[in-house]
Structure 1
Amino acid sequence: LEPILPIRARTAASRAPLFCIHPAIGLAWCYSGLLAHLAPNRPVYGLQAPHVAGAEGFDSIGEAAESYVAHIKSIQPQGPYHLLGWSLGGLIAHEVAIQLQQAGDEVALLSMMDSYQLSDEWLEHAIPTVAEIIGEFGSDALGDDVEFDQSMSLRDAAELLRSRPGPFAALTVEHLERLYAGYANGTVLAHGFRPRTFNGDLLFFTAGDDEINRTDPTRRAAAWQPFITGTIQNHDLRCKHSAMTTPESLAVIGPVLNEHLEAAAARAREARQ
C-alpha cells in the first residue's frame, strides 16, 4: 500500500503520465481499468492516501495537494501535467493543478469524475456505512453476484473480501478500519474545502443516474465554473456515483480521456516546433 501506485510505469519511450488521485477510500486501484482505453505508451500512476498505510492523514485538501505535488514531481519533474480525480480526488486534483501552476508548471489536463464540494446539507449524510465503503473500491473484482448487507460490520466485510479473488482479498479488518477512518476524514476535508481559481479548462464526468445530481444545482459540473477560467466540458454517464469506475463506465470515460491526452500531446509538439 504505497503512496504512489504504478498502474502503468514509465519507460524511456513513454509519454507524460496521467496522475490519478484517490477517492475518499484512499486507494487508487480503481483507475486500473483505464489502461485498456489509453495509448499503450501512456503511463498511469495512482496517488494513494497516507492512511491506507497507517500513516497520519492530512488536515486540509491544501496540505494533501502539497504532498501529492511532491510525489508527482518525483515521477515527472517538469510539466505538462495531466490530472484526474474521482469524488474527493477531484477536489484534490483541482488544488494540485493550482499549486503546480503557481510553481510555474503547465497543467495540460485537469479532469474530474463526479466531484463536488460537500455542503452543510450533505455532510450529515456523508459518513458512509461499511457497505458503501466496500462499494467505493471502484472495481468489479468482487463480482456482480455480491449483495451488500447495509448493516455489515468491518469483520463481515473482511470475510467477504477474503472469499473473492483479486487484490482486495489481502485486506484485513485493520486495513478496513484505516480506510473507514480515512473516508470519514475525507468527508470533513471536502466540507472544509474552499476552491481557488484554476487557469484553464475542466474535463468533467457526471454520474447521470444519481437523482441528487439532477435536483441539486451544487452537484453539477457547472458548479465549478466560478473556479475555472476556461470552459467546462461535461460528459453524462448512465451510472451512479459508486459505479464511476466499473468497466462499463471506464469504457466511456477512457476514450474521452485518451482523446484529450492525445490532443494535449499534439499541442506540446506544435509548441516545440
Structure 2
Amino acid sequence: MYRTGDLVRWHTHTPDSTPVLHYLGRTDDQIKLRGIRIEPTDIETTLTRHPTITTTRVAVRGNRLIAYYLSDTDVDADALRAYATAALPSHMVPAAFVKVDAFPLTPSGKLDRNALPDPVLSATVGRPPSTARQRRLCELFGDILGTPVDSIDTDFFELGGHSLLLVRLASILRREFADVAEHLSVADLMIASTVTAVDALLSGQSDAGPGSFAPVLPLRSAGTAAPLFCLPPASGLGWPYAALKHVLPTDIPLYALQSPLFSGGRLSGDLAALASDYADGIEVVAADGPVHLLGWSFGGVLALLTAQELLRRGRRIGTVAMLDSYPEVADADSGADHLLDRDAVLARVLAEMGFPVDPVDRLTVEQAIELMKEQGDAITVLDDQHIASAIENYIAAERFTVGADYGRYDGDVFFVDAAHEVDHLGTASPAWRPHIGGEMTTVSAPFRHSDLLDIAALEHYGPALVEMLMREEKS
C-alpha cells in the first residue's frame, strides 16, 4: 500500500506487459526506524515549542533519533528529554539532544545532514536490565517486536505490539520460564506490558491492582495531561485500545472502560443507562477536570452518549473521537420478536463479522464459541466463560442500537472513516452530523473497519488525533 509522499514510477516492460508500480522512495523527509514510520517534522515542531529552543532538526545516527537545535541559552538535556517524553510517543523521543551554533547547509541551501556533529549517545534510554532474567526478557521483547530492547521500562505496546504478538509472547514465556509461568495468560500481560512488570509477575511480586477484565482498565495511569477514556466496542473488551500507546504522548493517561459482564456485573437495559454507568466509572478515576473520550465501532456510539451525560453533570469534555462508528447497525424492520430472539441475533452478528454463518439461521452461545475456536478468532485467547460474556455483549449491542436516541452533542468530534472495503452501510460520518452541534473533523483512512486499531492505521490518523488532543489541552 502506498502513502502520500511515496515516489513511484510506472514500469511497463514486464513479461506479460502488465504495468506495475516501482517504489523509488519518499518526496519528503519521512524515515523508517526499527520498522516504524516517523515524521521528523512532527518531532521538530513539538521540540521547537520549548520556550528556549528557536529551531530544531531531527536526523538518524546509529539507528537512533538525534535532535539538533538552536538556542540562545544553555538547555539541560535531561529537561529537554523530559519535555519530549511528555509530549511525544516513546518511539519518537530522541536518544540525544545536540546544541549547534548553526545548521550546516549544502550548496543548494538544504540541510546537510552528513555534516551534523556526531552525538554522545548513552548506552540506553531508561533503566538497563540488571539480572539474567531481565536481560532475557529484553531479548524476547526485541525478538517479537523486531527491534532492539535495552531498557526494562520498554512498553510492549508503545513499540508496536498488539494482541496477536502478545499471544506469542505469553506462549514463549510459559515455555522459557515454565517453573513460574505455567499459568501465565494473555490477560496477565495486558496490564504487565513492560519488561519490569513481566519480571515482577514472574517473581510473584506484581502489585495486585485491577485485573485485565476490570470495569476500568488502566492502560497507562501516569501522566499529568487530561486522561483519555476509551469506550468498549461491541465485544465489551477494552484490550484493543492498548495499541494507542504507540501514538499517544506519554503524558496522556489512558484508560479502557469494559463491560461489567466480565467482572460479574450486569448490563443496563438501554443505551442511555449504559452511558450513565460508564460516566460513573470515569468519575471514579477522574473526579474533576477535563477528560477525552474515544471509541471504535460501537464504542464510538458510547463515547458520544457518555460525553453528553458528562456534560449534563457539569464536566468539561476535551476531544470526543469516534472511529468508524455506525448508528442503527441492526435492521429496524426486523421486528421486536426477532430482536429478542438471542439465537437469531447471534447468528446475524457472527455473519456480519465474517464467520461462515447463514444470517437467517439461529445459533446458541455454545455453538458460537465452538465456531470461533474452529476459525481461530483472536477472541479465543479468552476462556469459555469470558468468550460467552463477549458474545452476550455483542447481542446486547445489536439490540441497543435499533431505534436508539443518540441525542445531540454540542461539542467538537474527531471522526475516522474506514475507506477500504466500505460495506453496504456506506461511509459512516455523514449519518452523525445531525447529532453533532460542534465542529466535526473527519479523516478518511485507507483501512478496513476491523483494522483501525492496527499499528499502520494508527500511524496514519494518529498524528491528527494527537494534534486534536493537544489542542484541547492548550485551550
TM-score, length-normalised on structure 1?
Answer: 0.80
Q: Structure 1 residues 230 and 47, CA, compared in 2 at 3 Å: closer, same or farther?
A: same
Partner residue of 2:456 out of 230, 243, 248:
248
Aligned to 1:68: 278
Partner residue of 2:442 out of 234, 237, 241:
234
CA distance in 2, matches of 1:194, 1:129: 25
How far did 1:234 drift?
A: 0.7
Q: Structure 1 residues 171 and 263, CA, compared in 2 at 3 Å: closer, same or farther?
A: same
How far did 1:227 drift?
A: 1.2
Partner residue of 1:224 out of 405, 420, 432:
432
How far did 1:128 drift?
A: 2.0
How far did 1:34 drift?
A: 0.9
How far did 1:174 drift?
A: 2.0
Contact 1:130 1:180 in 2 (8 A): no
Q: Does 2:370 match 1:155?
A: yes
CA distance in 2, matches of 1:26, 1:181: 9
CA distance in 2, matches of 1:249, 1:237: 7
Partner residue of 2:314 out of 104, 114, 126:
104
- Larger CA deviation: 185-194 vs 41-50: 185-194
- Larger CA deviation: 51-60 vs 192-201: 51-60
Bigger RCO of structures 1 and 2 (CA < 8 A, at least 6 apart): 1
Q: Secondary structure at the match of 1:239?
A: coil
Q: What is the one-letter code of the residue matched to 1:29?
A: W
Q: Does 2:82 match 1:82?
A: no
Bigger fraction of residues in helix: 1
CA distance in 1, matches of 2:432, 2:449: 18
Aligned to 1:145: none
Partner residue of 1:175 out of 386, 402, 411:
386
Q: Structure 1 residues 98 and 238, CA, compared in 2 at 3 Å: closer, same or farther?
A: same
Unaligned segments of structure 2, at least 5 residues: 1-212, 335-344, 358-366
Q: Secondary structure at the match of 1:257?
A: helix
The superposition leaves residues 114-137 of structure 1 with CA deviations (integer Å, 9 ceiling, x where unpaired) of 1121155378688322893xx8xx
Q: How many residues align structurally?
A: 243
Q: Structure 1 residues 153 and 223, CA, compared in 2 at 3 Å: closer, same or farther?
A: closer
Partner residue of 1:128 out of 349, 356, 359:
349
Aligned to 2:252: 42
Contact 2:330 2:399 in 1 (8 A): no
Partner residue of 1:190 out of 387, 397, 401:
401
Contact 1:131 1:150 in 2 (8 A): no
Give the alignment's Cα RMSD to 1 decimal: 2.6
Contact 1:123 1:191 in 2 (8 A): no
How far did 1:233 drift?
A: 0.9
- Larger CA deviation: 250-259 vs 113-122: 113-122
Q: What is the one-letter code of the residue matched to 1:6?
A: P
Percent of pairs with identical residues = 28
Contact 1:130 1:157 in 2 (8 A): no
Q: Structure 1 residues 57 and 77, CA, compared in 2 at 3 Å: closer, same or farther?
A: same
Q: Does 2:474 match 1:266?
A: yes
CA distance in 1, matches of 2:226, 2:333: 37
Q: Does 2:227 match 1:6?
A: no
Q: What is the one-letter code of the residue matched to 2:369?
A: L
Q: What is the one-letter code of the residue matched to 2:400?
A: L
Aligned to 1:146: none
Larger Rg, first or second structure (1 or 2): 2
Contact 2:329 2:398 in 1 (8 A): no
Unaligned segments of structure 1, at least 5 residues: 136-148, 268-273
TM-score, length-normalised on structure 2?
Answer: 0.47
Q: What is the one-letter code of the residue matched to 1:221?
A: S
Q: Structure 1 residues 9 and 158, CA, compared in 2 at 3 Å: closer, same or farther?
A: farther
Aligned to 1:141: none
Q: What is the one-letter code of the residue matched to 1:236?
A: S
How far did 1:5 drift?
A: 0.8
Contact 1:207 1:238 in 2 (8 A): yes
How far did 1:195 drift?
A: 1.1
Contact 2:417 2:445 in 1 (8 A): yes
Q: Structure 1 residues 175 and 131, CA, compared in 2 at 3 Å: closer, same or farther?
A: farther
